[in-house]
Structure 1
Amino acid sequence: MSRPISAIVSVAAMRHNLARARALAPGARAWAVVKANAYGHGLAAALEGFADADGMALVEFDKAARLREAGWQRPILMLEGAFDPQDVAQARRDRLALVVHEPRQLDWLAAASPAAPIDVHLKFNSGMNRLGFDAAGLREAHARLSALPGIGSITLVTHFANSDLPGGADDAIARFERACAGLPGQRSLANSAAVLAVPDAHRDWVRPGIMLYGASPFADRSAAECGLRPAMKLASRLIAVQRLAPGDSVGYGSTFTATRPMRIGVVACGYADGYPRHAPSGTPVAVAGRRTGTVGRVSMDMLCVDLEPVPGASPGDEVELWGGGLVDIDEVAQAAGTIGYELMCALAPRVPLVVDRAGA
């Protein structure tokens, strides 16, 4: 028998979340962001769940080739652009649109002289200070791209640092408007938080990411409050039950010590599966359909849970780590001092992905 842990990915939830993004930005086309193996959900599920997207966006060129091999014919956008001249050659071959954010990428495009036009998304640094041109550099780059025969459409793009905060995108939008004034081309600004909360950022293309997978980009708004459905349920089972006397400790480092007689359950899930090792005692979990909390330190292959709220629990009972309707991934992330994005992307390759097509 296989180890009982699995991640069940709901195609229906992915479709719902994409439809939610479309409903919020009805005048815009939507890139479905599928980097990091579709945030841990798998490209195969993404191809089904986001079949109605106008395009897919990612950073990995090998995965872009896989999307084409799997039959995706709509646009694909490489969010970090080319990393070397060979990537430009692949963009020509696989019909990939490229973000252009620094001068070397301009040089590679100029040297390639592609026979078929390559669409580009020219990136402005509106305050994130990671990728993108300043205002003067943006105009120079736009002029140079416009003069190259191998360039197709030029879309103007930026990325927000603080769109999850009230008014946090205002300055970035104003900077973008000043820098792009008078330049032709479509605009793409909105990430998930801006899709949900900044209508002025919707423009021609939106780029939803985390919201497509049913997690919230906000610290103070749950996914359910955003109208989203979790697309991943991480589930396992109890593999043992232990009885503790007062003074008994649990796990490495003895970080949890019982103050009363108690039963604890041992779950086949640990940090080698992608569960956060630093999750403290009390991190929410559900056993046999009832919420409880973890106890002790998460180890490589196992974690322990308090069975007091589930007195009838026994080995073989299902454990929901997150995403099944009882425990939100954002709750686990908050308890562990991280974000749902990291938990999704950290899912280990040894955890089987099971694509649930029910209701799709």
Structure 2
Amino acid sequence: MALATATIDFSALRANLARVKELAPNSQVMAVLKANAYGHGLVPIAQQLAGADAFAVARIEEALALRTGGITKPIVLLEGFFKASDIDIMLANNFQTIVHDEYQLAALEQAQLSGQIKVWLKVDTGMHRLGVEPQQFEQFYQRLKGCANVHEQLHLMTHFACADELENSYNQTQLATFTTLVSDKPAPLCLANSAAIINYPQSHGHWVRPGLMLYGVSPVQGKTSSELGLQPVMSLTSEVIAVRRVKKGEPVGYGGHWQASADTQLAVVAIGYGDGYPRHAENGTPVLINGRRYPLVGRVSMDMISVDIGADNQSVAVGDDAIMWGAELGIEEIASCASTIAYELLCNITPRVTYQYLN
């Protein structure tokens, strides 16, 4: 039996990269692969993105895994380095780094290196997470330009806080702040994440850095992936392992969280939060079996969920495939039913799930 399986469609992945290039034809593409390529498999995904100009990860361990996997393209550390001892590793592996604070800048200035490291200076224009303050920008820029350990070509970056909200004026405020700061700097610029690539073409700059949209998930509020020309890359499936009857009034699952309102049948599917399916998926969350949507009932268990297939259903049997999300059932809908976001569902896939890659 093929139980919990994440099927990854490489053709959809490549189509989504093509869509990025269609939307931002004058920008280079930094494909974001952090968190195991959003749960899709770090190295296999990178190997299929030959059309990307660079890759971005969050941690140096992810970057090293890419190099071990044979990836030779430029790799950017989106959070920079955390220890001065990482600088030699970055140089040896040709990693590029974000600089967002004084510690990182001073460590680069004090390092004894045999070569230079390419740096992306990150400015905090309103996200208030990482980045130098606007009033610090000029000082950081000049110090990096004067640092013998830093490559002469600096890159400048910022990050939008609300790019998924088209009408949010804060995006324009951030864009104006960044544009004013860098107006006299001959440096490549990078502002647009997935949502900004779609919502704010004026922010594309020399580089764009798509993440979620590469995996075929909508990064924009109120828009589905298909409406945006994206194709879901992952389908999460399992199988029906039991079909059983319950009578009206009988409780199902831990805590009797759901009770049958009439005599019915349940299909028990071998997937649960131990595989990454969201424990807080509410009653009624759709599951697709044989092309038909059925509602989840009862609490999600570690290894199983129950689906109400109706009293007279004779078309669902043990061994039938059950789709949790994929091309036929959008992950955005499942995330909404679990009061979370698609990012979390993708990143929560556990090692117990089998990966299957389709070209």
Query: Which TM class, normalised by the smaller chain length?
Result: over 0.9
The answer as to whether partners of 1:294 and 1:305 remain within 8 angstroms in 2 is: yes
| Partner SS, residue 226 of structure 2 | coil
For 2:244, give the aligned amino acid: Q
The answer as to whether partners of 1:291 and 1:326 remain within 8 angstroms in 2 is: no
Deviation at 1:256, TM superposition (A): 0.8
Corresponding residue for 1:231?
233
Corresponding residue for 2:194?
192
* 1:80-229 map, 5 Å: 80-152=79-151, 153-168=153-168, 169-229=171-231
The answer as to whether partners of 2:100 and 2:130 remain within 8 angstroms in 1 is: yes
Corresponding residue for 2:28?
29
Q: Distance in 2 between matches of 1:121 and 1:44?
A: 24
Q: Residues 32-55 of structure 1, C-alpha deviation per residue, up to 9 Å, x if partnerless?
A: 000000000001321233121000
Q: Distance in 1 between matches of 2:85 and 2:45?
A: 26
Deviation at 1:212, TM superposition (A): 0.4
Deviation at 1:184, TM superposition (A): 2.5
CA shift in 2, pair 1:177/1:113, >3 Å: farther
The answer as to whether partners of 2:250 and 2:259 remain within 8 angstroms in 1 is: yes
| Partner SS, residue 267 of structure 2 | strand
Q: Distance in 1 between matches of 2:155 and 2:70?
A: 25
Q: Which runs of 5+ in 1 are unaligned?
A: none
For 2:132, give the aligned amino acid: F
Deviation at 1:167, TM superposition (A): 3.9
Scaled by the length of structure 2, what TM-score is found? Answer: 0.96
* 1:167-316 map, 5 Å: 167-168=167-168, 169-308=171-310, 311-316=314-319
Q: Distance in 2 between matches of 1:269 and 1:321?
A: 9
Corresponding residue for 2:322?
319
| Partner SS, residue 184 of structure 1 | coil
Q: Residues 245-291 of structure 1, C-alpha deviation per residue, up to 9 Å, x if partnerless?
A: 11011100111111111111000000010011010110011012211
For 1:256, give the aligned amino acid: W
| Partner SS, residue 239 of structure 1 | strand
| Partner SS, residue 236 of structure 2 | strand
Corresponding residue for 1:47?
46
For 1:120, give the aligned amino acid: V
For 1:249, give the aligned amino acid: P
The answer as to whether partners of 1:98 and 1:119 remain within 8 angstroms in 2 is: yes
Corresponding residue for 1:16?
15
| Partner SS, residue 85 of structure 2 | helix
Deviation at 1:69, TM superposition (A): 2.0
| Partner SS, residue 38 of structure 1 | helix
Deviation at 1:171, TM superposition (A): 0.9
Q: Distance in 2 between matches of 1:167 and 1:183?
A: 29
CA shift in 2, pair 1:157/1:310, >3 Å: farther
- Identity score, percent: 41
For 1:119, give the aligned amino acid: K
Deviation at 1:113, TM superposition (A): 3.7
Deviation at 1:90, TM superposition (A): 1.1
Q: Distance in 2 between matches of 1:216 and 1:206?
A: 16
The answer as to whether partners of 1:13 and 1:230 remain within 8 angstroms in 2 is: yes
Q: Distance in 1 between matches of 2:184 and 2:44?
A: 41
Give the total of aligned pairs. 355
Deviation at 1:27, TM superposition (A): 0.2
Q: Distance in 2 between matches of 1:236 and 1:196?
A: 33
CA shift in 2, pair 1:248/1:142, >3 Å: same
Deviation at 1:310, TM superposition (A): 5.2
For 1:50, give the aligned amino acid: L
Corresponding residue for 2:68?
69
The answer as to whether partners of 2:273 and 2:300 remain within 8 angstroms in 1 is: yes
For 1:56, give the aligned amino acid: F
Corresponding residue for 2:336?
334
The answer as to whether partners of 1:9 and 1:45 remain within 8 angstroms in 2 is: no
For 2:316, give the aligned amino acid: A
Q: Residues 75-131 of structure 1, C-alpha deviation per residue, up to 9 Å, x if partnerless?
A: 100000011112211110110110000000001111224222211110110101000
* 1:346-357 map, 5 Å: 346-357=348-359
The answer as to whether partners of 1:287 and 1:310 remain within 8 angstroms in 2 is: no
Q: CA RMSD in A?
A: 1.2
Q: Does 1:345 align with 2:347?
A: yes
Q: Residues 139-176 of structure 1, C-alpha deviation per residue, up to 9 Å, x if partnerless?
A: 11100000011211211100000111124321110011
| Partner SS, residue 353 of structure 1 | strand
Q: Distance in 2 between matches of 1:334 and 1:219?
A: 12
Deviation at 1:65, TM superposition (A): 1.1
